[in-house]
Structure 1
Amino acid sequence: MRPLHMAARLAVVAVFALLVLASAREARAYPWMVRHAYTGCAMCHADPTGGGVLTEYGRAQGDLLLRTKYRKVPEGEEGEPSKTAGFLWGALDTPEWLSLGGSVRSALMRNAVTGVPATNRWIHMESDLRAFAKASIFRAGASLGYLHEGGRAAQVTTRAKDNLVGRHYWIGVAFKEDLWLVRAGRMNLPFGVRNVEHTLWVRSATRTDINDGQQHGASVSYNGEKLRGELMAVVGNYQIGPDDYRERGWAGFTEYALGDRWAIGASTLGTWALRDKATGVTTHREAHGLMLRGAPFEQLVLLGEATVLVRAPAGTDTSYGFTSMLQADWEPIQGVHFLITGETLKDARERSKTSLGGWLSAWWFFLPHVDARIDAIVRNVPTPVGDIRATTLLAQLHAYL
């Protein structure tokens, strides 16, 4: 079998370009903010596809809608954010043209794998400072952080441990009151649901997580009242080397709002590398999928994603696989979330079998800018010598500045 025909690849990209560039109306992240009728991300985030620095409006909504309230709000102040909503809990005012932010996250993790003694680890997951600036039609965003270990693909220093990381940095030009943004730099790949669970198979198998999966390139994004999307030309990750390992190609998504609390979308990705990190040889890979976000009622949000995987290493037949995720998020009390997630993965390689995974999670936004989360994750992975079961318990504490 051969890789997808070049004409088919060009058709996929052309369709996504038309969908992303096809509308012209006013715009309106945690993907479960759809419960509050926020189907897009650009109103609350400097990055039009979500995540990173919050706008002033985003900070206000985070204070009003995310965290648990322990007392009744005085009459007449129902829609007013507290003074702690600002940067550094309101301790530092920033000029109108500058937005600052940051994130610190640590975790305790216990792993138990069939036939192997259990391990316990403390992980410093994130300590980043972020900035976003706007002047006239010009936009720029950047982050700089520190990691004790890990995050190799985002490192800007090259020590064995204790490195600086730069997850994203970009400059751009906005048009029509920020409906359109053209930018270039190191950015999150526009693909799938922009969720924080970066180890979900839908993120790791497609290499589109927001931990260290960013790539360099240029993109155009549109954020309309109903339609939003982004199409990116990927030129590789220049924080790794040598050049043979860099992936080049495209990534894009489009999403359409079905009313106030439902949205459906599609994603596409295709890259080439002279030496793929998984196969070690010249490889072309693709991923094409659908996604869904919706709230049957305000307390319950459903997130779903299903993606076909394609891999064509040089000298071998093309292999196909798939990955999927379905998550239910129940918020019985403001700021308190209980989640259940199911996932599947059939890797795009010869004779691979389907792996199954399940997550049970509790998440509490218990103070301004502070949340805690516990996950219990069980995964069953078939191997030629029998199934392997991996169980992970993860406890996280997170603060954003």
Structure 2
Amino acid sequence: MRHFKFSYAFFILVSFILASQAQAYPDFIGYSYSSCITCHYNGLGGGGLNDYGRALYATEITARDPFFPKKMEEEEIAAKSGFLGSKPMPWWIRPGLKYRGLWLQMDPGSKASMERFINMQNDVNLTFFGDKKQTYTLVTTTSYTGIEPYYGKTNTWFAKEYYIRWKKSNNFWLYVGQMDKAFGIRNVDHTAVNRKAITLGQFDQSQGVIAHFTYPDWDVAVNAFFGNGAQEDAEKQKGFSVAGEYQVFEKFKIGGSALSSQSDLAKWNLLAFTTRMGLSKGSAIMAEAGFKEKTDKLANTKAQLGTYALVETMVNLTRGYNLLSVIEHSKSDISKSSSENMKWSLGALMFPLPRLELRAMATNAKTYTDSTGAQDAWALQGQIHVSY
């Protein structure tokens, strides 16, 4: 068992050191798109795609056969990627829709096996421009919770994000409003160790200000924030963060992030190191490893310093079809004996049709403790993402 744990940890370390970059997902650095602002209205990634991002999604990410005839040029495919297809939208508005659903089966093949379907994301994006050069932009996302709670609310619509983007120059962007915090890699899996568990989940947007400086070889974002508008005052995490990346050479970036915040209930300090690298066209590997320190202010206990790491590899098999592997590790407290969690997910990431993404994954989770052992937890997942 100890030998297996060492091998697992060694694989993560080697993968992190050798990581090549990737993503409209951070993984898409494999297509030579290393800057999120190329495809997103938010320069740090996530949220709605701009016109170029929609065209890229249709002409490079999505499978061509059998939906598009061979005689159709890529320019024609790109022209059909708008919200109304090839019909132009007014210059001052860009709408978008996003749905993500998850079929989950726990303990497949056992008598205790359970299945459920979760509506993970139901977003309506509306982006407004103050001028044709898009110097001033208002970005909004309205979401529906379903049965998954949003700060105690269920089955209701809510304002997930709303912020003004000011393009001061090609190298300086300012964001003011409610949005995702600037930290780490914004991968789509909000349950991953570098997201929800460290206050960076699907609904952890915060009101604040982000100053984003971006250049060909490096970019830095500085974020001051003071809590989500839907939270009670005692829950609101107020603080600051900084995140940056440097391009060592084409399709290879290294970066770091730091965050410090506190509410009346808890205090958080985060530190992370990231890397993204493109391999062959469409293939990439990215990694994030960091420290997480949490202080429970109500219990008045000593701060717990833990660690986490994520390594994600995407291998392009053919246009629209990819092999996806994700390895995650977390430990809640490194100063004393505490549980250690490992998870490996392996499966397919597919873009068979325009605006459609499918995932089929198998996951294996392990928990290690010094005193007891636990059986592996297996699960099967099927996901459908519709972006319009």
CA distance in 1, matches of 2:84, 2:374: 48
Q: Which residue, 311, 314, 317 being the options, matches 1:329?
A: 314
Q: Which residue, 84, 87, 95 being the options, matches 2:80?
A: 84
- The answer to whether 1:188 aligns with 2:173 is no
Q: Which residue of 2 aligns with 1:352?
A: 338
Q: 1:151 to 1:85 in 2, by over 3 A?
A: farther
- Aligned-pair distance for 1:170? 0.7
Q: Which residue of 1 aligns with 2:7?
A: none
Residue identity matched to 1:366 = P
Q: Which residue of 2 aligns with 1:270?
A: 260
Q: Which residue of 2 aligns with 1:62?
A: 57
SS of residue paired to 2:30: helix
SS of residue paired to 1:368: coil
Residue identity matched to 1:171 = I
- Aligned-pair distance for 1:151? 4.2
CA distance in 2, matches of 1:57, 1:311: 40
Instruction: List aligned pairs for 1:161-180, cutoff 5 A.
Output: 161-177=154-170, 179-180=171-172
Q: 1:151 to 1:260 in 2, by over 3 A?
A: farther
CA distance in 2, matches of 1:270, 1:388: 36
- The answer to whether 1:122 aligns with 2:113 is no
- The answer to whether 1:292 aligns with 2:282 is no
Q: Which runs of 5+ in 2 are unaligned?
A: 1-23
Contact 2:223–2:241 under 8 Å retained in 1: yes
- Aligned-pair distance for 1:335? 0.8
Q: Which residue, 244, 251, 259 being the options, matches 1:261?
A: 251
Contact 2:324–2:346 under 8 Å retained in 1: yes
CA distance in 1, matches of 2:240, 2:57: 33
Q: Which residue of 2 aligns with 1:146?
A: 144
Contact 2:172–2:213 under 8 Å retained in 1: yes
CA distance in 1, matches of 2:84, 2:340: 45
Q: Which residue of 1 aligns with 2:381?
A: 394
1:343-374 Cα shifts (integer Å, max 9, x gaps): 10011486423211101121110011111111
Contact 1:284–1:312 under 8 Å retained in 2: yes
Contact 2:31–2:282 under 8 Å retained in 1: no
CA distance in 1, matches of 2:283, 2:94: 31
CA distance in 2, matches of 1:47, 1:285: 25
- The answer to whether 1:371 aligns with 2:357 is yes
Q: Which residue, 227, 249, 254 being the options, matches 1:236?
A: 227
- The answer to whether 1:248 aligns with 2:238 is yes
1:192-239 Cα shifts (integer Å, max 9, x gaps): 111111111121232213x21211211111222121232111201221
CA distance in 1, matches of 2:72, 2:159: 43
Q: Which residue of 1 aligns with 2:10?
A: none
Q: 1:228 to 1:97 in 2, by over 3 A?
A: farther
CA distance in 2, matches of 1:148, 1:76: 40
Q: Which residue, 223, 243, 249 being the options, matches 2:214?
A: 223
1:370-399 Cα shifts (integer Å, max 9, x gaps): 111112122112466533533221111111
Residue identity matched to 1:284 = K
CA distance in 1, matches of 2:71, 2:114: 52
> Percent identity of the aligned residues?
22
Q: 1:324 to 1:399 in 2, by over 3 A?
A: same
Q: CA RMSD in A?
A: 2.4
- The answer to whether 1:338 aligns with 2:338 is no
Contact 1:207–1:213 under 8 Å retained in 2: yes
Residue identity matched to 2:367 = V
- Aligned-pair distance for 1:82? 4.1
- Aligned-pair distance for 1:77? 2.7
Q: Which residue of 2 aligns with 1:13?
A: none
Q: Which residue of 1 aligns with 2:94?
A: 99
- Aligned-pair distance for 1:80? 4.5
Q: Which residue, 366, 369, 380 being the options, matches 2:366?
A: 380
Residue identity matched to 1:87 = F
CA distance in 2, matches of 1:132, 1:291: 30
- Aligned-pair distance for 1:74? 5.6
Residue identity matched to 1:218 = V
TM (normalized to structure 2)?
Answer: 0.85
Contact 1:89–1:368 under 8 Å retained in 2: no
SS of residue paired to 2:352: strand
CA distance in 2, matches of 1:366, 1:319: 45
- The answer to whether 1:318 aligns with 2:303 is yes
Q: Which residue, 189, 214, 221 being the options, matches 1:197?
A: 189
Contact 1:151–1:212 under 8 Å retained in 2: no
SS of residue paired to 2:112: strand
SS of residue paired to 1:394: strand
Contact 2:191–2:197 under 8 Å retained in 1: no
Residue identity matched to 1:272 = Q
SS of residue paired to 2:286: strand
SS of residue paired to 1:81: helix
CA distance in 1, matches of 2:273, 2:127: 30
- Aligned-pair distance for 1:258? 2.4
Contact 2:56–2:78 under 8 Å retained in 1: no
Q: Which runs of 5+ in 1 are unaligned?
A: 1-28, 276-282
